[in-house]
Amino acid sequence: MSRDFVGALLQLNAEKQVSREQLIGAVEDGIQSAYRRVAGDEDIQVRIDAESGRIRVYRARLVVEAIEDELTQITVADAKAFDADAKPGDVVETEQLDGDVFGRIGAQTAKQIVLQRIREVERDQVFEQFASREGELINGTVNRVEPRGLILDLGKNVEAVLRPAEQSPLEHYRIGQNVKAFVLEVRRAIRGPEILVSRTHKGFLRRLFELEVPEIHAGTVEIKAIAREAGSRSKVAVASRQDGLDPVGATVGQRGARVQAVVAELAGEKIDVIPWSDDPGIFVANALSPAQVISVDIDEELRIASVTVPERMLSLAIGREGQNARLAARLSGWRIDIRSDVSVAEAKAAAEAAEAAEAEPVAEVVALDEPVAEAAASGTEIAAVAEVPAAKPKRVTKKAAAEAAAAEAATGDADAPADASAAVETPAAKPKRVTKKAAAEAAAAEAAKGDAAAAEGDAAPDAVPAEAPAAKPKRATRKSAAEPITEEVTS
């Protein structure tokens, strides 16, 4: 029995990769727990000899000065009977039991406890193994697909979870495919340690370059910074620790062989390798590659880099949906403001014009009327000239216009010389309806005025007769129209 027990321990040691001491401790705990399930056997201890496989079962109690638990503790005076040198804190063996007396139920209980302890030991070993590998690459095989993500088999019944958020949008996986992944986190769970891996983390790109570039693995070329948008584009800044070594050339490889191997692993993701510089202006300009940069202005206080690029390079510097500028800002750690040289020149010209306008004095132009102008021409001192704003013109009615015209005509007659009479034309009034009687009377009056004018013309030939405004004709009735006809016949 002892040989069979030792052989079983050696087999478990080979299969489970569990140390011999841990296996023996698990079996001791299992048998001890099976004994203690029986009432009154709470003080039983089990020890196993690793060389011979002999199981020793005995009762032992803890030596204390004041007893709190009578089943597991013993006083110092009672312990002296079993061990003369017993003192508080020692465990004293009180009785030797027969280890072969073990029932079927006890054996099943011990078996379950032993298997449970062995599983716990395995989980602890897996956790310790992968907890120390956080931030490293692991190789796995696609085992199955679950709602929580892709399950990778790492071997020895160890599985890792590749969640959808950690998968590249360009990649498609199949069952049995070998996959490299970056260990993000290892945590303890109810069913054992949970290993979370990623293929989108920037650390995954760093580890791939360490695999493909010996200079990076050896440390002569250092990766200073990485900015990545998984599945689309990445930027890697490298620096050399050895004089005369080109970091970009060593990373890219001959004809791009090294970087192409990394691109193939990432399913065609674009990678820009740029040189690192301690000068923020130079580093920002390099980070915006492949766009050409004219100048970079650095604001140390606000952490802003103002970049000027040629007009034809503006879209290339910004990138599709701002991707190139966004990655450059992440890589350099600066906020980048990109402007074209044309817009910068226009803004500079506008600023100079505004400054010139502010510097020139404002000259106020004042309109001078004729008296003031004459006084200024003659040298007379003018105390102050104030420009009075013009009043808002009022609306002129027809009646007011007629009165104004009449007044103006009267003024003109008064100012005219005595030898000439100016004819004033008054605006014609709105004609009224003329009757027959009024028309006859008007005709008679016109004839009388004509005779008088002829007589005056003989007396004063130089005088210019003034034209009187025509009287408003009256409405002529049938009676008034007949009277002149009768008078003419009589005459």
Three-state DSSP class for residue 31: helix
The arithmetic mean of pLDDT across residues 371-376, rounded, is 45
| pLDDT 10s digits, 90-147 | 888 777 776 555 567 777 887 888 888 888 888 888 888 888 889 999 999 999 988 8
The arithmetic mean of pLDDT across residues 385-394, rounded, is 46
Q: What would be the CATH architecture of the domain defined by 278-346? A: 2-Layer Sandwich (3.30)
Beta-carbon contacts of residue 55 (< 8 Å; ≥ 6 apart) = 5, 31, 46, 47, 48, 99
What percentage of residues in the chain have a pLDDT greater than 90? Answer: 34
The CA distance from 211 to 209, in Å, is: 5
| pLDDT 10s digits, 192-239 | 788 999 999 999 999 999 999 999 999 999 999 999 999 899 999 999
pLDDT band at 382 (very low <50, low <70, confident <90, very high): very low
CATH assignment, 134-194: 2.40.50.140
Q: Where are the beta strands (DSSP E) in 214-355?
A: 221-229, 233-240, 270-275, 295-299, 304-309, 335-340
The CA distance from 231 to 233, in Å, is: 7
Higher pLDDT, 141 or 191: 141
pLDDT band at 444 (very low <50, low <70, confident <90, very high): confident
pLDDT at 421: 38
Complete DSSP assignment for 140-165 = EEEEEEETTEEEEEEETTEEEEE-GG
pLDDT band at 265 (very low <50, low <70, confident <90, very high): very high
Q: Which of 102, 179, 168, 99 is nearest to 139 (CA)?
A: 179
Q: How many CA atoms lie within 13 A of 18 on its CB side?
A: 24
Q: Which of the given ranges, 86-90, 300-304, 375-379, has the highest pLDDT on average?
A: 300-304
Does this model's pTM top 0.75? My answer is: no
Strand ordering across the sheet containing 270-275:
221-229, 233-240, 270-275
The CATH number corresponding to 201-276 among 3.30.300.20, 3.20.20.100, 3.90.640.10, 3.40.50.410 equals 3.30.300.20
Residue 296 in tokens: 């970079």
pLDDT at 277: 93
Class (C level, CATH) for 2-128: alpha beta
Domain range list for the chain: 2-128, 134-194, 201-276, 278-346
Give CA separation, 274 vs 242, 284, 320, 322, in Å: 17, 10, 19, 19
| pLDDT 10s digits, 270-308 | 999 999 999 999 999 999 999 999 999 999 999 999 999
| pLDDT greater than 50 at residue 486 | no
| pLDDT 10s digits, 19-72 | 778 888 888 888 787 777 765 666 777 888 777 777 778 778 888 888 887 777
Q: Matching CATH topology for 201-276 and 278-346?
A: yes
pLDDT at 332: 92
pLDDT at 224: 95
| pLDDT greater than 70 at residue 312 | yes
pLDDT band at 384 (very low <50, low <70, confident <90, very high): very low
